[in-house]
Structure 1
Amino acid sequence: MREPVDVRRQRILAAVQARGSARVSDLAAELQVSVVTVRRDVEELTREGRLRRGHGVVRSTLAAEELPTRRAAEGDPVAVVVPERHSYLSETLHGARSVLEAAGLRIALHIAPQVAGAERPLVERALADGARGLLLAPRWRSRAGEEADQQWLAALDVPGVLMERRPRPGSPLHAMDSVCSDHWYGAHLAVEHLVGLGHRRIVFATRDDSPTARTLRAAFAGIATAHPLVEAWAWALSAAEAGHDGPYTDEETAELPELLRRTGATAAVLHGDVDALMLVQRLADSGVRVPQDCSVVAYDDVVAGLGITPLTAVAPPKAEVGRVAARLLLERLDPERAAGPSVRRVELLPTLTVRGSTQSPSEDPQGSR
């Protein structure tokens, strides 16, 4: 299904803000749309004052106080490796950029394509180019992919910090600095909000192709199983292409509207925003109203508020993850402190924003099931 215009424009905005500027042709390639489409989006974002246009280039309109105090080109390079087409991590990147450039360090951004093992050659190239430190968010679409990267990452001879990746206990990366969101707490916020409204049957739909997705799946399952007020729950993939660690049961790959009907669920929590927005559209096509017949909570809150029905959403502290990771790296790069602080694993708490997509299942008797 085609990506909504508002979602695409938000991704363009996040990408440009993360980099400071970008070529229109590069944005079109990353988003897998035509250059004409990107130009049209850029024109609208420029009209709204959110971007500035140049000849074939689009620039951010960041406030002057957010710009580095020293020209970044004068500083030493820090390599940042993030996955291709990942709007969530664009905000994390922007947070890291604001800290590193303010410190006079130049960012060398490397975009990892969607293939296994893509990060290693990028890191090797960055080190050959003189990178003094690394901020990394490996895609790790499967557990096998994560395990394949552990040994060489643990052997890096420059400081590195993992962003939104939690090393497994006892793994070679257990002693590597990391900063991530406390996704268990984010799942807890979503469940407690729905249970507090009176929902007792809930469907959870997540991806299953990243460490965050797998952490969320486990968190939802554990919380719902132990909750005394949750009578029934089910988990399914949020989209057919969202899983790589199968096999999955028929229920776990079921169409969400059908799974909601079959389980008698009055609420759903989806990771992430785009899948949640699309579920609202699919429910409307089948005559199910949100929130009167079914409450929906999104997990990410990048574009959740842009829907026709703005979605209640859990927001991991995306930009703050980047800022904290950059500060950790700066400490490691300081010769006077490099051997000082012990390895740290930092977890930051998500927040919940209540919008129009959730309500008590008994508030509208006409729509109750």
Structure 2
Amino acid sequence: MNIENGLWAPGAQLPVERELADTLSVSINTVRRAVGELAAEGIVQRRQGAGTFVTPVADPPAEPAGALGGRRLIGVLVPSTTYYYPRVVDGIQRVLRDAGVGVVLASSKYDLDVERDELRAMRNSGVQGLLLVPNLHIMSDPQGYVDDLRELPLPHVLVERRPPAPEPDDPTSYVGTDHGGGVCLALRHLHGLGHQRVGHLGRRRTGTSALVAQGFDDAAALLGLDVVDGAVARQERWAPAEIAAYVRSCAAARVTAVFCHGDRDAAALVVEARRQGLTVPDDLAVVAYDDEVAEVGDVPLTAVSPPKSEVGALAAQLLLRRMEAGDDALCHRVEIQPRLVVRASCGAAQTSVPT
């Protein structure tokens, strides 16, 4: 399903078997059988010592020598090619392919040194524009980095990132998800179902964690939700023992719903809640943010679904316009609101809430 939906793009590496088993709440043997069937059908490829990859799309016929001289190239730098960003890249490639523009794709792997080297390599490759998802959340001076990008000798657009502390006339163009609006959609839905005490199992130090956390705080205040001590907690990584303690804290505080930043943490929360004798959604409703693997598992997760493909496509369109306009290009700051996909984990009967 994830391959079919474009979550794992051609050439992307699949998570390791243990991670897949934990995410899907199935045994490793089940995962191995499923991957074996995909390999037999040619959908994935196993590479000795490297892992399992989605079978790449066949390369087009090679162009004659010198043909690239008349073909535009766009550099695309993302932090990951296995989680969240494959759909963003799919939207970018769709627009650029239709425009006859080639793509130079690279991943920084959430490493600042790799990001610097890949950006340099792209510039040296002769690209005429850049679509960038910089790792601002782990930089000591993220606004300074964004400011320095203005010195690049070619146009660029930020994707799913925005200047963190811009001056009023900051000329940086970006396209991203309205994460705060997406969180508000989720909490308004839970509030409409009668939940007053809603917890937040969140993350720290991810590219979107600060925006999601602020969105939760703002939406809780807007809707008048009870913010209970211990029910709003954020970690860089959630260990099983920490999730178990969080569930006990929520039960003791009579929290009836939890908003989770990340499908995997939400799935782990559901498993732990049921282990402690709570039913989902009757005792505890759960809503996730990301909608990467939310539909799999014994209890499909209601999830905020960022418009990843649409963000990528719009960013590519904007960059093409900037390349054509040159020095006359206008600054665009675009945010797209996510949608809420309602599944079994919140107890609602409807199937989706469009924006």
How would you bin the TM-score normalised by the shorter chain? 0.7 to 0.9
Pair 1:357 & 2:345 matched: yes
Matched with 2:261 is 271
Please point out which of 104, 114, 117 is paired with 1:118: 114
Answer whether contact 2:204 2:236 (CA < 8 A) is retained. no
Pair 1:159 & 2:152 matched: no
> Match for 1:45: what amino acid?
L
Aligned partners of 1:269, 1:206: CA distance in 2, in Å?
A: 8
Shift of 1:168: 2.6
Matched with 1:127 is 123
Aligned partners of 2:344, 2:184: CA distance in 1, in Å?
A: 20
Matched with 2:83 is 87
- Shift in alpha-carbon separation, 1:170–1:79, aligned structure 2, 3 A: same
Answer whether contact 1:162 1:177 (CA < 8 A) is retained. yes
Shift of 1:94: 1.0
SS state at 2:217 partner = helix
Shift of 1:285: 1.4
Aligned partners of 2:279, 2:327: CA distance in 1, in Å?
A: 58
Q: How does 1:166-245 map to 2 (within 5 A)?
A: 166-170=162-166, 174-228=170-224, 230-233=225-228, 234-237=231-234, 240=237
Aligned partners of 1:208, 1:164: CA distance in 2, in Å?
A: 17
Matched with 1:45 is 38
> Match for 2:86: what amino acid?
S
Shift of 1:143: 5.8
> Match for 1:284: what amino acid?
R
Matched with 1:247 is none
Answer whether contact 2:244 2:272 (CA < 8 A) is retained. no
Matched with 2:274 is 284
Shift of 1:332: 1.6
RMSD of equivalent CA atoms: 3.6
- Shift in alpha-carbon separation, 1:307–1:53, aligned structure 2, 3 A: same
Shift of 1:76: 2.8
Answer whether contact 2:301 2:344 (CA < 8 A) is retained. yes
Answer whether contact 1:134 1:161 (CA < 8 A) is retained. yes
> Match for 2:346: what amino acid?
T
Aligned partners of 2:243, 2:142: CA distance in 1, in Å?
A: 24
Matched with 1:142 is 138
Aligned partners of 1:175, 1:32: CA distance in 2, in Å?
A: 44
Aligned partners of 1:140, 1:350: CA distance in 2, in Å?
A: 22
Answer whether contact 1:140 1:209 (CA < 8 A) is retained. no
Please point out which of 314, 320, 323 is paired with 1:333: 323
Q: Which stretch of the first structure deviates more once superposed, 259-268 or 324-333?
A: 259-268
Matched with 1:342 is 330
Answer whether contact 2:142 2:164 (CA < 8 A) is retained. no
Shift of 1:14: 4.4
- Shift in alpha-carbon separation, 1:15–1:294, aligned structure 2, 3 A: closer
Identity rate, percent = 34
- Shift in alpha-carbon separation, 1:198–1:290, aligned structure 2, 3 A: same
Unaligned ranges ≥5, structure 2: 20-27, 349-355
Aligned partners of 1:327, 1:140: CA distance in 2, in Å?
A: 23
Q: Which stretch of the first structure deviates more once superposed, 273-282 or 82-91?
A: 82-91
Unaligned ranges ≥5, structure 1: 1-8, 243-251, 361-369
Aligned partners of 2:88, 2:11: CA distance in 1, in Å?
A: 17
SS state at 2:281 partner = coil
> Match for 1:94: what amino acid?
D
- The alignment covers a number of residue pairs equal to 326
- Shift in alpha-carbon separation, 1:115–1:32, aligned structure 2, 3 A: farther
Aligned partners of 1:149, 1:40: CA distance in 2, in Å?
A: 46
Aligned partners of 1:127, 1:316: CA distance in 2, in Å?
A: 30
Per-residue CA deviation, residues 167-221 of structure 1 (Å, 9 max, x unaligned), is 1342599321100011111011111010001001011122121341100101111
- Shift in alpha-carbon separation, 1:81–1:40, aligned structure 2, 3 A: farther
Answer whether contact 1:112 1:119 (CA < 8 A) is retained. yes
